[in-house]
Chain A
Amino acid sequence: MSDPRPDDDRLRRLLADARHTEPMPPDVAARMDGVLADLGADRPVRATVTDLASVRRRRRVRTLLVAAAAVVVAGIGIDQVRDGIGSTSDSSADTSADTSADDAAGAPPQQPHPAEGVGGGGSLASEQPGRVGHPVRLDPDRFGRQVARLQHGGAASFSAQDHVDALQGVRCRAPGDGRAVAVTYDGEPGVLVFRPPSRDSQVVDLVLCGHAGVARSITLPAP
């Protein structure tokens, strides 16, 4: 080990000043409590996907230009998407699942919603065009913020159980209860399941098609 340098004390002071002194944020605490509850009940623990995300981020860079082009095209489709997902725009939590799916089934192909990142090639919509509507595109780096926005509606949704039925053809399973939203996560099709809220929090699980278990999970304050 080398001798202490003159700057060491000042660096230590700077590092000490940069120490994180806040308590664990409530949403993280609620998430940990949820995981503990899962462990205690011998349920499968909600998995996380950072390892997958690293691979996907690299892939995302390659598809960035394509996505940007899609956003430009999407500009004309905002209202169509809003209409096409039924009357769910601001109250999707209360929307009938069958209605959303049926509406989507009858709707013509639509452009993605740029603000929510809707759309993307190889999406669920292309595999199950009549059942799931247009998926919301989720970005791994903005997962929390995007999911929080979706919590308050704005995307087609239906019950998770219906979703299981609808998506078995593409090996997409969304076990358990909750409100499901079709998504693409870093380009991969999946389902975001808003679990029934507990007293003050709501768990949201991401299930990727073709992958067992929950790929990513987040706990939000109850709506």
Chain B
Amino acid sequence: MTTMTPDELERASDQELLRAHVDGDPGAFGALFRRHRDRLWAVALRTMGNREDAADGLQDGMVAAYRRAATFRGDSAVTTWLHRVVVNACLDRLRAAKVRRAEPLPDDLEEYRDRGSTVSADATESADPADASVADERRRLVLAALQQLPDEQRAALVLVDMEGYAVAEAAAVLDCAVGTVKSRCSRGRARLAELLAPLLADDDRDGDHPDPRNPDPSGPVGSGDTPRGPPPPA
């Protein structure tokens, strides 16, 4: 058994770390997990819908990956394999629990609301609190709708539309065919479109089309009156 130095752990590739772990290096798996844990956490959180279940699911996945590292065949990236194990652990939990939480807000939204972390980067940078509030509300609605989807559809949308995975990579994570991922995403979006119809209608008014209540004037509107100016100096 060899033990990597902290510097070696830092420089090692994912595959080297996993191999070192299988060979008995006590620090290798921890280094590998810490390297990817933020993204794994994001996926677990959005898949499970609340913080505590996400931590449970992530822990299950991490333990499974730790113990099953020797079964990694190397036919996908290590990070894809890690995501697969974690997502499967989360889905296993959801299947076992079959619980749909009724809280109006996902936990992370509540916890981070005051820190301004739940809005998108653009909204966070906005100087207008109203914009941030609108973005917050939009996220809340989206996440609430996401939780109403079947678990597999939600997992597919989390990977593809939220995390930006290519469909093929999401298929590798979910251990299913590319067509299955596409189908789940399509059905999930169709359902979301129903659930978020008011939001999409707002989006229509705000973005893609002129506001019907305030059409652009067809030409300049003149006035016969002399424009008002500041009062003349006394």
Contact = CB atoms under 8 A, between A and B. Distances in A.
Interface in B27-79: 29-30, 33, 37-38, 41-42, 45-46, 51-53, 55-60, 62-63, 66-67
Contacts of A51: 93, 96-97
B193 interface: yes
A interface: dominant SS:
helix
Interface in A8-45: 8, 10-12, 14-25, 28-29, 31-33, 35-36, 39-40, 45
Contacts of B52: 143-144
B183 interface: yes
Contacts of B37: 24, 29, 32
Contacts of A28: 41, 51, 55, 58
A8 to B, nearest CB: 5
Interface in B93-151: 93, 96-99, 108, 112, 117, 120-121, 135, 138-139, 142-143, 146
Nearest to B101: A141
B176 interface: no
Interface string B149-193: 000000001000111100000000000000100110010011011
Contacts of A21: 42, 117, 121
Contacts, number: 125
A211 B159 CA distance: 36
Given A7-B200, A23-B38, A15 B33 contact: no
Contact of A35 (B38, B59, B98, B196): B59
B96 A5 contact: no
Contacts of B96: 50-51, 54
A48 B164 contact: no
A48 B192 contact: no
Contact of A32 (B51, B58, B192): B58
A64 interface: no
B26 interface: yes
B99 A48 contact: no
A16 B200 contact: no
Interface of B: 26, 29-30, 33, 37-38, 41-42, 45-46, 51-53, 55-60, 62-63, 66-67, 93, 96-99, 108, 112, 117, 120-121, 135, 138-139, 142-143, 146, 157, 161-164, 179, 182-183, 186, 189-190, 192-193, 196, 199-200, 203
